[in-house]
Amino acid sequence: MTVEADLAALCEVIAECSPIVVACSGGIDSLVLATVAHRLDPDHTVIAHTVTPAVPPDGTERVQDHARREGWNLRIVRSREFDDERYLANPTDRCYFCKSNLYDAIDEIVAGLPPSGPTVVSGANTDDLGDYRPGLTAAAEHGVRHPYVEAGIDKRRIRAIARAFDLAESELPASPCLASRLYTGTRVTPTRLEAVHAGEELLRASGFEVVRCRRRETVVWIELPEVDRLRLESDIIDRVAAAMQAVDPEITAVELDARPYRPGRAVIATS
pLDDT digits (tens, 9 = 90+) for 15-35: 999 999 999 999 999 999 999
Mean pLDDT of 25-54: 95
Mean predicted lDDT score pLDDT of the chain: 94
Confidence of residue 234 (pLDDT cuts 50, 70, 90): very high
pLDDT score of 146 more than 50: yes
Mean pLDDT of 113-126: 89
Break the chain into its structural domains and give their ranges: 3-171, 178-256
Is the dihedral angle over the CA atoms 118, 124, 125, 130 positive or is it negative?
negative
Do you know the residue count of the chain?
A: 271
Q: Which residues contact 95 (CB under 8 A, 6 or more apart)?
A: 133, 134, 135, 138
Mean pLDDT of 254-265: 93
Per residue in 179-208, pLDDT (tens digit) is 999 999 999 999 999 999 999 999 999 999
Question: Strands 20-23 and 119-121: what pairing?
Answer: parallel
pLDDT score of 74 more than 80: yes
pLDDT score of 271 more than 90: no
pLDDT score of 269 more than 50: yes
- What pTM value is reported for the model? 0.92
pLDDT score of 115 more than 80: no
pLDDT score of 101 more than 90: yes
Structure letter (DSSP) for residue 166? T
Topology alike, domains 3-171 and 178-256: no
Can you give the C-alpha Rg of the chain in angstroms? 19
3-state secondary structure of 128: helix
Is the dihedral angle over the CA atoms 193, 137, 102, 59 positive or is it negative?
positive
For the chain, what percent of residues have pLDDT higher than 70? Answer: 99
Q: What is the CATH number of domain 3-171?
A: 3.40.50.620
pLDDT given at position 263:
86
| Cα–Cα distances in angstroms (integers) from residue 128 to residues 29, 112, 155, in the given order | 11, 31, 9
Tell me the fold of 178-256.
GMP Synthetase; Chain A, domain 3 (3.30.300)
